[in-house]
Structure 1
């Protein structure tokens, strides 16, 4: 179990926009977007942007040798035939008019994507990122959060991290649900994902098919296995509910089969790793206030999201079948592209953005 750095909300950047009037886009106005990173999530985002009438895809950035220079329509389909080739640097694209947003999807770790985010902000783009650690960066990278907040303010743009989780299923969703309770004492939430139905990079990330020894070796070499960002979800949810946490803890463990399992063409022998189970909790005055769990493995039985709020009244929400991670991530981030342009400049969280994209003024 890892006990993360003591979480002090007073030391975190003061996310702007919490009490300010939100801006509005003109009726029918499109947000111009550039896709940064053309992995599986990035390609899904680019296709989502092409399909949405409220977004206009302007190009894509990817520095990998096998991707830079390729025609975009060759990668994501004929709908992109009039767009420029994939470029290795954001500055290689013609700067779109405002409002312009980069949809960023390259890595889960904030320290690895910091140069990319600084490039994006410095060129005057708003940025919506799938980087899990950016969803609540002060938890692990307080100094980087302060640095990015200052840069975003200086360049007059917004920056936010989000996705299905962190950013929705186990933090924003229970936070919204809590508004129906007069008092919340504790939150327990869990998400179960059948990894054989997901993309190959996620299967590799959770160690599917490895021996336990190989799993441990890879875990030590990479610094961790499985889901990234559950601690951020716990901190984000605790912040939304006003709990002054003394610490956030996070741990992961392999899910190992005890007997032979056959799923389609795959057979897993006893002792084979099926995936990873990650847990996170937030403590206040020695009491566990938030308890979260994400299981991403094969043979989980039933996919679902389950949220329980203990309080007055007790509330329970179950989403049978769960939330489809890849397509929902693309939908959420595309939606956030319209929301990030409607708030003041700076570093944001999903708590400081409108829950839904702002529309035209309502009639009296």
Structure 2
């Protein structure tokens, strides 16, 4: 049974998912929503490099609601544009349409203490009014920070600590990181995410989620932030990083339980694989890594690659995987009761229709 899908947002992630929907046997594209006025009226195929479809992009939420899709897959901006995300997603939910999104990373665990009520309550109310469900994977990507470590924890008799790490080279990455992470700025520049409360709220929701999954309540959540300054100019997809500026950052978000660090979310993001040589790296380039110390201890590395000859980078492959997690979750989200949906509410999502 095909699911009728409206896709909102045709940036890097949304345009790649759009192309996948058009050739997927279990999903039917019935509408495309865009915020960029220049894209209004364009054919969905033109927005993702595919043949024309007859489905034209619109910026009208009302038009898309009138189509009555089974779900909206939402690839809007980050929580920096929270008001826009809440307005658009809330409108679909109030109309009784389930939403699966990547945009609002704090929503991966809506019960997080640091999540502002004005970011939580409108969606809670919209779900109740429309009897609809809202699932957010996160863009960090959520599954690497929650689904992977929690799945591996289920193989252990005891877990003394669990660490989920993103270890990526951003040389060819064109996403946002300058203001958020301070890459490319002098070391005295204070990046947005360098503020502990902002870092925990923006990217730390998986830490209390893992704690809840393990049946514990954390005593505290702490952070660390480190910078590495390049001694030489470094090329990147966004231009040259000058010598004396930040070319790598490393941060952790740490769940503290009974006086010790038990859950750690770590990011190491570099411009150049030789940057910050003393910091963690994978056994391969550009990986997501889980390390569990316990009984047994487990290490797992996951890499995302394109093997189609397109030369798209591993970071972009990870973006596609993030987007597909939201799309492939639609049938399960449709079957769940109304309200917030987290990774703990979902069954196994094996990717129905992917083998063909």
TM-score, normalised relative to structure 2:
0.80
Deviates more, 1:269-278 or 1:188-197: 269-278
2:344 is paired with a residue of what secondary structure?
coil
Partner of 2:278: none
Aligned to 2:252: 279
* Secondary structure in structure 1 of the residue aligned to 2:37: coil
Change (3 A) 1:347 1:291: same
1:197 and 2:168 aligned: no
Q: 1:194: how far off?
A: 1.1
1:258-283 Cα deviation digits (max 9, x unpaired): 34445799654431222432310111
2:317 is aligned with 1:317:
no
Is this contact kept in 2: 1:145–1:347, CA < 8 A?
no
Counterpart-to-counterpart distance in 2, 1:146 and 1:120: 15
Structure 2 unaligned residues grouped into runs of 5+: 275-284, 305-313
Post-superposition offset of 1:125: 1.2
Structure 1 equivalent of residue 62 of structure 2: 91
Match of 1:170 in 2: 145
> Is 1:108 matched up with 2:81?
no
Give me the whole-angstrom Cα distance separating, in 2, the residues matched to 1:359 and 1:76.
23
1:279-300 per-position Cα deviation (integer Å, ceiling 9, x unaligned): 1011123321111211222113
Alignment of 1:106-255 (within 5 A): 106-109=76-79, 111-112=82-83, 113-130=85-102, 131-139=104-112, 140-141=114-115, 143=117, 144-163=119-138, 165-202=140-177, 205-213=180-188, 215-216=189-190, 219=192, 229-255=202-228
Give 1:328's aligned residue: 321
Return closer, same or farther for 1:52/1:199 CA change in 2, 3 Å cut-off.
farther
**Greater RCO (CA < 8 Å, at least 6 residues apart):** 1
Equivalent residues of 2:93, 2:130 under 8 A apart: yes
Q: Determine if contact 2:193/2:199 at 8 Å carries over to the other structure.
A: no
* 8 A contact 2:107–2:138 mirrored in 1: no
Structure 1 gaps, min length 5: 1-28
Q: What are the within-5 Å matches in structure 2 for residues 23-42 of structure 1?
A: 29-42=1-14
User: Relative to structure 1, is the Cα distance of residues 146 and 251 closer, same or farther in structure 2, using a 3 angstrom cutoff?
Assistant: farther
- CA deviation map 1:182-234 (0-9, x unaligned): 11121122111111232344567544433335x43x64999999998431121
Deviation at 1:179, TM superposition (A): 1.0
Contact map agreement 1:166 1:232 (CA 8 A) in 2: no
With the length of structure 1 as denominator, give the TM-score of the two structures.
Answer: 0.78
Relative distance call for 1:149 and 1:193 in structure 2 (3 A) is same
100-109 vs 252-261, which moves further: 252-261
Q: Could you tell me which residue of structure 2 aligns to residue 298 of structure 1?
A: 271
Partner of 1:349: 342
1:180 Cα offset (Å): 0.8
Contact in 1 for aligned 2:224/2:253 (Cα 8 Å): yes
Per mean C-alpha deviation after superposition, the further-off stretch among 350-359 and 222-231 is 222-231
Q: Deviations over 1:343-362 (max 9, x none)?
A: 111101011111215869xx
Matched with 1:338 is 331
State the SS of the aligned residue for 1:83: coil
For this pair of structures, how many residues does the alignment match? Answer: 328
What is the aligned partner in structure 2 of residue 256 from structure 1? 229
SS class of match (1:169): helix
Partner Cα separation in structure 2 for residue 222 and residue 82 of structure 1? 46
Change (3 A) 1:77 1:43: same
Give the stretch that moved more between structures: 253-262 or 48-57. Answer: 253-262
Task: State the secondary structure of the residue aligned to 2:154.
Answer: helix
Contact persistence 1:190–1:305 (CA under 8 A): yes
Q: Residue 43 of structure 1 is aligned with which of 9, 15, 19?
A: 15
Cα deviation for residue 255 of structure 1 reads 3.6
Q: Which moved more, 1:202-211 or 1:311-320?
A: 202-211
Aligned position for 1:13: none
Q: For residue 212 of structure 1, give the secondary structure of its aligned residue in structure 2.
A: coil
